[in-house]
Homo-oligomer: A and B are copies of this chain.
Amino acid sequence: MNFAASATRQRAAGLVAELQERICSRILDLERATAAAAERAASAFTVDDWESPPSERGIAGYGSTRVIAGGAPLEKAGVNTSVVTGAQLPPSVVAQRPELEGHGFFAAGVSVVCHPCNPHAPAAHCNYRYFEAQAPDGSRSAWWFGGGADLTPYYPVLDDVRDFHRALKAACDRTNDDFYAEFKNWCDRYFYLPHRNEARGAGGIFYDYIDAERGTRDELFAFSRAAGEAFVRGYFPIVERRAAQAFGERERSFQLLRRGRYVEFNLLYDRGTLFGLQSGGRVESILMSLPPLVRWAYDERPQPGSVEDALQEYLQPRDWFAEDPFA
């Protein structure tokens, strides 16, 4: 297969590159403003552009891994793209689409994870991707979009959660009136730690295998772009306003403990992480999602009624736009 084999593939590769630029540039603005206020040099992205020749499994491609470490307001941020083709759709896809067994694939995606310094600022993630399957005779057999964005607060503020969801909802509503409710529920089910009986965070949207039944390809490209834009507009203002909020050892300690749940989710359940590692993906690019510093402590629980205890209320599915989501 050839990366430039179709205008659509070029368009998908272009879209993820564009979203990467947009998100990196927003992060750099934040880092520069914080650095200027502190009269020091701003953090910069470490950029690793990679290209991989066909692996044993016939997967080849290229991408760009961009990471900031030790910044402020972001202790760690990663914004990655990858554009790959493979001779065989992975088992995780075939399990859901058995008619595509033995088909080749093309995938272009952008993946973002932000771990802020300030425990009052939530962590967040987004991922947007376009897939094509190709029959052995070379014809395109299917195409679909997948993606999502979710917010992981440690000291949650209802207005922050609402702002994040509102931005995503606006992007959904512009394409299809059903998308937000559907993708919000999907997110609540996906970012869930069954062993802890809690969600990873306050949700967002998640979707996969979205194809011609839900919109034209043009409409769905526009939706991916809008959802990426919604992440920028819905998330970074929260980081901005929480970055100056005072915190001490107590808040830092709770943030590090809660980051442990983030690691548990990503290594135990996240299909993207597991697929990437199992299919011989670029390990450091995949694991850039893990927080910079993490703590595990035996059976440490917040005091009932404490501000840390209040987080639990946010880790179950809620209608964030209800007058009182906790009623």
Contacts and interface: CB of A to CB of B under 8 A. Distances in A.
A90 interface: no
Contact of A263 (B67, B76, B267, B283): B267
Nearest to A265: B267
A206 B280 CA distance: 26
Contacts of A76: 298
Contacts of A287: 264, 296
A290 B296 contact: yes
Contacts of A268: 267-268, 274, 277
Nearest to A263: B263
Specify how many copies of this chain sit in the oligomer: 2
Contacts of A260: 290
Contact of A267 (B78, B264, B293): B264
A40 interface: no
A263 B76 CA distance: 19
A291 interface: yes
Interface string A289-311: 01111111111000000000000
A250 interface: no
Contacts of A67: 298-299
A46 interface: yes
Contact of A297 (B48, B69, B195): B69
Contact of A78 (B256, B263, B264, B298): B298
A15 to B, nearest CB: 24
A181 to B, nearest CB: 31
A291 B283 contact: no
A299 B277 contact: no
Contacts of A291: 296
Interface string A245-271: 000000000001000100110011000
Contacts of A13: none
Contacts of A292: 295-297
A218 B67 CA distance: 57
Contact of A196 (B264, B283, B297, B298): B283
Interface of A: 46, 48, 65, 67, 69, 76, 78, 195-196, 256, 260, 263-264, 267-268, 274, 277, 283-284, 287-288, 290-299
Closest 5 pairs (CB-CB, A-B): A267-B267, A290-B296, A67-B298, A284-B299, A195-B277
Given A65-B298, A263-B267, A292-B296, 20 more contacts: A46-B298, A67-B298, A67-B299, A78-B298, A195-B277, A196-B283, A256-B293, A263-B263, A263-B294, A264-B267, A264-B287, A267-B268, A268-B277, A288-B298, A290-B296, A292-B295, A293-B293, A293-B294, A293-B295, A294-B296
11 contacts: A46-B298, A46-B299, A67-B299, A69-B297, A69-B298, A268-B274, A268-B277, A287-B296, A288-B298, A292-B297, A293-B295
